[in-house]
Amino acid sequence: MAREPYLKVTWTDEVTGRPGYLVIDRLGRGVSSGGLRMRAGVTLAEVADLALGMSRKEALAYEPGLRYQPLGGAKGGIDCDPLDPGAAGMLRRYISAMKPLLQTYWATGEDLGLRQESIDAACQEAGLRTSIDAVLPLLADPDAALKGLDEAFSVTVDGIGLGDLAGGCGVAEAALTALDLVIPDRRATAVIQGFGSMGGATARFLARAGVLVVGIADSEGVVANPDGLDVETLLLTRDEHGRIDRSRLRATDEKLPRDAWLDLECDVLVPAAVSYCIGVEEAPRVTARLIVEAANCPVTPDAEALLRDFGVIVVPDVVANSATNSWWWWTLFGDIPAEADAAFAKIRTWMRRVVTDILTESTTTGGLPREIAHTLSERILETR
């Protein structure tokens, strides 16, 4: 029998009548960690699935001897289009309603459709110090810890903040590790769906590692070039919603329909936008040898089984996209300094070890990488 989450909350906005949700999958050290997303049509079941995934991400980040030890997993969701003129007001009302839980049990941050600055502003308006107030009692010196985290968030590398880059560094390292194991000794190509904080940063790290980014999808469509896109120009001229400035494309770049990202020839496919975007209908269109999940739950379980029959390896989200969460806590608890080089070194070392272990066991046993990651995380949770 499946274990029930620790807490499920459904909230109805008094202004719009639309719902919002919070699921705390479990507590660790008395609190839980997980982002807040805003998406039209988000469901309680989706949020619960993501909260369970956060528990697993927390577990996989466990390392003996660190000040940061795993928390529980949680997730919040607001049923609203982030481009809706009323989105900011709905966010403020949701945060106000969830204030008691944000004070005690739930530490949150940005997720799909929301930026950290917007969440911070809503929290402060509600009388909260931060969006992670629930974790502060675990710290010996909360003021010093928050100062260090603020310093880390103020770091930029070539025009992009470290808070955005941390997650993409992890996804890219997961992809590079898998490439070394599956397709060594060749210059690889990649297609990325989603060009927000996670997808954009992943594109930068892959391109700088020598991978040709041959396609990028945003909400307006797909841009592609078999010889590689100019990732840096596209990154630094995108808008706040991750939309590419088409006026900055080169003459040799192509503009394609929005769903063409699945059909582009590549070695690595990185879904970095919405959940459940690769199902059994989409799986036969995948040309890549590797899918690295930068989004939460982009590949459905049935599709993953089908993809394995096609020889496609899926590096699961509970590993690949977990670096943002871990970086927050490594920094806050003082395990790494507020510096880009230290952050990237820690993320790369940790990600390469975990991905190598999981893919090696998958090759040995024939199990899906996701199943192996889940088993490993549950084993860790049982002993914590």
- Taking a C-beta distance cutoff of 8 angstroms, is the pair 26, 5 a contact? yes
Q: What is the pLDDT along the chain (384 residues), one digit of tens a residue?
A: 468 999 999 999 999 999 999 999 999 999 999 999 999 999 999 999 999 999 999 999 888 899 999 999 999 999 999 999 999 999 999 999 999 999 999 999 998 889 899 999 999 999 999 999 999 999 999 999 999 999 999 999 999 999 999 999 999 999 999 999 998 877 899 999 999 989 999 999 999 999 999 999 999 999 999 999 999 999 999 998 889 999 999 999 999 999 999 999 999 999 999 888 999 999 999 999 999 999 988 999 999 999 999 999 999 999 999 999 999 999 999 999 999 999 999 999 999 999 999 999 999 999 999 999 999 888 888 776
pLDDT per position as a tens digit, 256-302: 999 999 999 999 999 999 888 999 999 999 999 999 999 988 999 99
Residue range 326-346, pLDDT digits in tens: 999 999 999 999 999 999 999
Q: pTM, whole model, 2 decimals?
A: 0.90
Measure Cα distances from 204 to 56, 264, 349 in Å.
27, 19, 19
75 given a catalytic annotation? yes
Q: Architecture of domain 161-383 in CATH?
A: 3-Layer(aba) Sandwich (3.40)
Beta strands in the chain (DSSP E): 7-12, 19-24, 32-33, 36-38, 72-78, 106-107, 156-157, 160-161, 189-193, 212-218, 221-224, 254-256, 268-271, 290-292, 313-315
* CATH topology match: 7-54+71-138 vs 161-383: yes
Where do the domains of the chain lie?
7-54+71-138, 161-383
Give me the phi and psi of 79, to 5 degrees please.
Answer: -85, 85
Annotated catalytic residue: which of 57, 75, 147, 255?
Answer: 75
**Domain 7-54+71-138: CATH architecture, name and number where available:** 3-Layer(aba) Sandwich (3.40)
Long-range residue pairs from 373-378, CB within 8 A, at least 24 positions apart, any chain: 373/56, 373/60, 373/316, 373/318, 373/319, 374/56, 374/318, 376/59, 376/60, 377/55, 377/56, 377/57, 377/59, 377/60, 377/318, 378/56, 378/59
**Assigned token pair, 10:** 């459904």
Cα–Cα nearest to 194, from 277, 88, 91, 84: 277
